[in-house]
Every structure is written in structure tokens, then in C-alpha cells.
Structure 1
Amino acid sequence: MVWEVMSRIWRLQRALREEMEEGLEALDLSGLEAWLLRVVDTHPYPSDAARHMGLPPPTVSHMLRRLEEKNFLERSLDNKDLRRFSFRLTEKGRNALRQAEALMEAALRRRLARLKPEEIAHLLELLGRLEVA
């Protein structure tokens, strides 16, 4: 049963990613890069972003570098600790994030439309219970 639950979650996630892929490519973003833009908006330090995403810091650093090169992000030194730097979204990054989120929301809404409102509420309750460690 555990593998069945994990498989279904993985297949749903993959189906959503595939549905959004063309739109994200038009924005010059991957799914992970779109997620990183969202994370950087609230966790601007690379180590914090990596920890929040559960990804290795070198992976996140590489992605941050690519997003900076594409002008989605700007890097700045921390005024309190000049050894540390943070990232913030550029206007291009904010626009891309809004569009990526709209793609994600539309893809998930199409699937949630198959459920009754009380089923969605129950799904949210169950997911919330599974999230708690």
C-alpha cells in the first residue's frame, strides 16, 4: 500500500509537470527553476533556499547562477556580513513567476474539477495530516 500511495503522488506530480512543460519552456524556465523563484522570494540566501527545497546546496547554487544569467534574479552582498550574499527577483523574474504559477494553478484546477468540494476539503485535510512529522 505504501508504494501505491507514493506511486500515485509521483504520477500526479509528473502529469502536472508534463502539462506545464511547454508553457514553462516558453518562459525559459524548468519546473525546478520556477519553484526556486518562489522560494527565493521568501528565502533569499542560497543555503536557506537549498534547505527549504531539500536539495543539495551545489545544485541550488548552480540553478541560482543560471537564473541570474537569464536576468530572473539579482545578487547582492549582505550589508551586515560581506561574506554572504542574497538574491532577489528582478521584474523579469516576478513576471515569469506569476506566469509559471498561473500555469501550475490551471493544471491543478483541471484535475481538482473532477472532485466535489467536500472531496477537495477532505483531500486537504488528509494531506495536512500526512505533512506533520
Structure 2
Amino acid sequence: MKEQTIFEIIHNMDKVTNNLIIQWNKMFNEDLGVSHILVLGHLKQSGRSRPSDIARALGLTPPTLTHLSEKLVRKKLAIRIIDESDRRIIYLGITDKGVEMVNRANQEGQALRRNLFEKLTDEERQQLLKIYEKLNASQ
């Protein structure tokens, strides 16, 4: 495959992703970014977690996670939990309000993607599905 074609594929994938993020940010009017929702999603799925573990799992730096978690705690979407056996260890946990926020963000994200993929024909969606399955199987 020509290098130019690979570049065009990557460039167009990035444009689609960036446009979805921009649309989601406009639609999801909660003064939260995608990274905040990713942190809440991690907490919802994994339960209370040490900030360093969250940062590692999401590919974020510890200072970035600290900044994100400050806002989540301030908005009462997450709480800090002190370890009973070692008070130096602090976990981050999700609140009921945080779970509701993640659920709503996921619903709105799904609606955006559904709207995007509805622009494709059934045949194009099947081709795209096969391409993504092949790429996922090769990793």
C-alpha cells in the first residue's frame, strides 16, 4: 500500500474522531470533557481505584489525572476514599451522580455515532464492520 494512501486513511480517521468529539462537546453541555467521562467510565467499570492506576489505564499523566479528578470531586461526580489500613493511600470512587453522568454521556455519544453511521448504506456498514473486525483481530 502506498504511504500516501495510509496517510489519507489516518488523516480521515482522525478527522472523523475529532469532529465527533467537537459535536459531543457541543451537545453535552456539562462543562466536562471527554477525559473526565473516561475517568468516570473507568471508575464505573472498575470500582474505586488509585489515581496512579487510573492514569496508567487511560494513558494519562498523574498530574493530568489530578487536575481531572479535582473537577470531578468538586462537581460531586467522584469522591476521595482513604484506605482504612494505610491512610497514605487515597482512592477515587464514583458517586451515583457520576454514574448518571457517564450513562448520559454514553447515550449521547451513541446517538452521535448512530447518526454518523446512518449516512452509510447497509453494504458500506457491513464493509466497515469487517474492516474493524479484521483490524481488531490483528492486534
Number of equivalences: 132
1:15 aligns with 2:19: yes
Correspondence for 1:56: 61
Q: Structure 2 vs 1, CA of residues 123 and 78 (structure 1 numbering), >3 Å: closer, same or farther? A: farther
Name the SS of the counterpart of 1:87 in structure 2: strand
Correspondence for 1:77: 82
Correspondence for 1:66: 71
Cα deviation for residue 40 of structure 1 reads: 2.2
Q: Residues 1-133 of structure 1: matches in 2 within 5 Å?
A: 1-24=5-28, 26-43=29-46, 44-131=49-136, 132-133=138-139
How does the TM-score come out when normalised to structure 2? 0.80
Structure 2 unaligned blocks of 5 or more: none
Identity of aligned residues (%): 26
Cα deviation for residue 10 of structure 1 reads: 1.2
Check whether the contact 2:44–2:99 (CA below 8 A) recurs between aligned residues: no
Name the SS of the counterpart of 2:81 in structure 1: strand
RMSD: 2.1
2:23 and 2:118 map into 1 onto residues whose CA distance is 16
Counterpart residue identity of residue 19, structure 2: A
Cα deviation for residue 117 of structure 1 reads: 4.2
Structure 1 unaligned blocks of 5 or more: none
How does the TM-score come out when normalised to structure 1? 0.83
Deviations 1:46-65, CA, capped at 9 Å, x for gaps: 12211121111210121011
